[in-house]
Structure 1
């Protein structure tokens, strides 16, 4: 089966995937919305927006704002998040074991994240992970956020791997949709939503609470 074909490259979302941190983002977004007297629906916000760049999210509230103003508004929210999350950075269960297996098999890996550079530093540098990835792709490099497939396609190109041979790990529907548009298989991490939140995606090969539940998945045998 196509879904069982061993992966030749892995692409990881960061927030909610490499680390289980989305509640800290929710807290920061809630504070940001309150500070701007805007309504905030905590139950649905992350599922609707996770994977988009911050200025893309904020532009819906301030459609006439200049890019610099949108960036400043987004930076304020991200500063709230970093202050709260920095003391709690930890890899998702089973993540380090998976990437060690990939490394041993010579399977390259990438990060495709909507996070700004300072947030990437908080996670990847705190956990000393940066050097273990062949490339890191983010909107700060000029790419559109998810559900656009741009970041995942760029990661595959940089790793010199066909998109169909990549597996994307995501916690958000927009990310799984971006993988689908890129022609990539995906694994959903259920750190933010239940499995029913991903039921519509035919490129999904597994939905798991964390990486420890992926043992035995044929596509991750790296044969």
Structure 2
């Protein structure tokens, strides 16, 4: 595995990477969209659960809703998701210690997510980890969603770190592609996709189930 350079940054996706909650998002959207007349299988819903909420709504119901309606539906969906997931809200195994260790090594950290800030705040404040993340780039902060590199480029720019010194933590192929498009290496969490689904990407350092994996120790070696 490549060894991280001193002074580098860790950029984290949120859902499926820091918390294992993607099934809750999928199930919540599945109920809402099918209630509006869509006939989506759960498998199709899994395939569509990426990018901004308004983009997802537009893919399923092209030109049906106004911007204001999509914004309201987005918040209604996230409120329902948060109510369902809150009793199970916790970081992936080992992430508490990993964040503390990164902080001790003066590694700068940011969150770059397609989630709206309302959801990111739910996690940062619910788990008391805001202190680690001086930079948060949410859906509202970008024009182009992943796999466009805008999210991770903004994270790096706001941290003041060169793109090739950033390591991204992701769980989906489009996120890994966004990191590659930004010139960044990536650690993949296998919470939502198998290793085989990332076969075309050449910027992956390693695959891990969670943050207890000993492979991650190399990220702190100088």
Indicate whether the TM-score tops 0.5.
yes
Shift of 1:18: 0.9
Match of 1:211 in 2: 211
Trace 1:50-65 onto structure 2 (pairs within 5 A).
50=50, 52-64=51-63, 65=65
> Which structure 1 residue ranges, 5 or more long, are not aligned?
none
Shift of 1:144: 2.5
Match of 1:118 in 2: 118
Shift of 1:25: 0.8
Asked if the contact 2:48/2:56 (under 8 Å) is kept, the reply is no
Match of 1:83 in 2: 83
Change (3 A) 1:137 1:222: farther
> Which structure 2 residue ranges, 5 or more long, are not aligned?
none
Q: Deviations over 1:111-155 (max 9, x none)?
A: 001111221121110101112112000121244221111110001
Whether 1:45 aligns to 2:45 is yes
Change (3 A) 1:130 1:143: farther
Local SS of the residue matching 1:169: strand
Shift of 1:73: 2.5
What TM-score do you get using the length of structure 1 for normalisation? Answer: 0.91
Q: Which runs of 4+ in 1 moved over 6 A?
A: none
What TM-score do you get using the length of structure 2 for normalisation? Answer: 0.92
Asked if the contact 2:147/2:175 (under 8 Å) is kept, the reply is yes
Q: Deviations over 1:4-55 (max 9, x none)?
A: 34361000011111111111111101111221121223225334533x0110
Q: Deviations over 1:182-219 (max 9, x none)?
A: 1100111011111111111111111111111144553x
Match of 1:175 in 2: 175
CA distance in 2, matches of 1:142, 1:66: 20
- Give the aligned CA root-mean-square deviation in angstroms: 1.8
